[in-house]
Amino acid sequence: MCRLVLRIVANTFALYVAKLVWPAVVLDSIWAGLLAGTVLTLLHAAIRPFLLLILLPVNLITLGLFTLVINAWMVMLTDGLIPGLTVPGFWSALVVALLATLVNLPLNRWRAAGAVRHAKQSNR
């Protein structure tokens, strides 16, 4: 539950950073941003693994760069579902996906370091 809340906060923050960095991205309110961050997190948890599995050959050929395209699709889907979020077009969604990846990177590393630390403690 705590990880889910951290992901929602990180994705909301990523959308806010994208709004500041990329002027084409529009968030109507903080509530729209929080709702969009929640929907984006749920889409990443539910749909993204299925797409990664189906598109694995393409992802392998592009050495993982196609994952950004999948993330951009998730942003575009979130844009379609949330009326307070406007991301005009694929390239804007790709920029948002890249910024979300950069914002989530420290969170992923922190979580991985905690898992390694927990595994070392349980082996003793």
- Taking alpha carbons only, the member of 10, 80, 4, 77 closest to residue 45 is 4
Do residues 30 and 36 make contact, with C-beta atoms less than 8 angstroms apart? no
- Taking alpha carbons only, the member of 23, 44, 25 closest to residue 33 is 25
Q: What is the mean pLDDT of the chain?
A: 89
| 17, part of any domain | yes
pLDDT greater at residue 18 or residue 117: 18
| 20, part of any domain | yes
How many domains does one find in the chain? 1
| 124, part of any domain | no
| 34, part of any domain | yes
| 103, part of any domain | yes
What are the start-end ranges of the E strands in 32-124?
A: 85-86
Do residues 55 and 47 make contact, with C-beta atoms less than 8 angstroms apart? no
The pLDDT-based confidence of 105 (bands split at 50, 70, 90) is confident
Least trusted range by pLDDT, from 51-60, 88-97, 109-118? 109-118
Angle, helices 66-81/30-46, rounded to nearest 10 degrees = 130
DSSP structural state of residue 82: -
State residue 106's pLDDT score.
Answer: 85
| 57, part of any domain | yes
Give the range of the structural domain holding residue 84, as residue numbers without chain letter. 2-118
